[in-house]
Amino acid sequence: MDKFKTLTSTAAPLPIVNIDTDMIIPKDYLKTIKRSGLSVGLFAEMRFHEDGSKKEDFVLNQPAYEGIEILVAGDNFGCGSSREHAPWALLDYGIRCIISTSFADIFYNNCFKNGILPVIVTPEQLEDLMDDANRGANAKLTVNLEDQTITGPDGGQIKFEMDPNRKHRLLEGIDDIGETMGKASKIKSFEDEYSKAHPWV
């Protein structure tokens, strides 16, 4: 998992409330357990017509938002079913940070496990960030996880809260398994001592 420290990018505005995981990655794309190649299905029903052609009015199809890594979205992002393909598709597309006023719990947890930073802000702060995002390539946001700040194109800053353990994992680029493996020497020491004390096991 890639480390997350500071990210500067144009942000795409997606001011839709209750974007569920089926909107993020429709069920037709859930036939694989691979994490790569899912970007084609990201927001597929909003991005493409039935014949596969692009819907030019959808934000990710507009030239100003090509290659974005930050998404500014409406309230309750990631609700619905608990499919892990949703953060996989976002990450495969290149999105490393999502900013909203709230996230569904399972989706929120899955983001951290896959190297995506979900940032919670107030409705007033989201409105300001949405305005910045609507300016397209002329306005970039900088998300600094170490300082827990979002800096707008005009220099204004927003502070956000973050669980220390989750912050540590993203900064170091480690998931649940990586954190466990970091304690390998302690685990081995315990196993050795346990084996000596319980040789019959």
HSE-CB at 86 with a 13 A cutoff on CA atoms is 24
Mean pLDDT calculated for residue range 140-169: 96
Q: Where are the domains of the chain?
A: 6-174
Instruction: Assess whether pLDDT exceeds 70 at residue 181.
Output: no
What top-level class would CATH report for the domain 6-174?
Answer: alpha beta
> Residue 120's pLDDT is what?
98
pLDDT, tens digit, 9 for 90 and up, residues 104-150: 999 999 999 999 999 999 999 999 999 999 999 888 999 999 999 99
Closest CA to 161 of 176, 178, 145, 174: 145
Surface-to-core class of residue 100, CB atoms within 10 Å of its CB (0-12 exposed, 13-18 middle, 19+ buried): buried
Instruction: Report the percent of the chain where pLDDT is more than 90.
Output: 76
Mean pLDDT calculated for residue range 41-57: 95
Decide: pTM greater than 0.85: yes
End-to-end CA distance of the chain: 36
Angle, in degrees to the nearest 10, between helices 164-172 and 105-113: 40
Other C-beta atoms lying within 10 Å of the C-beta of residue 18: 13
Residues 6+ apart with CB under 8 A from 81: 20, 21, 22
The Cα 85–Cα 147 span in angstroms is 30
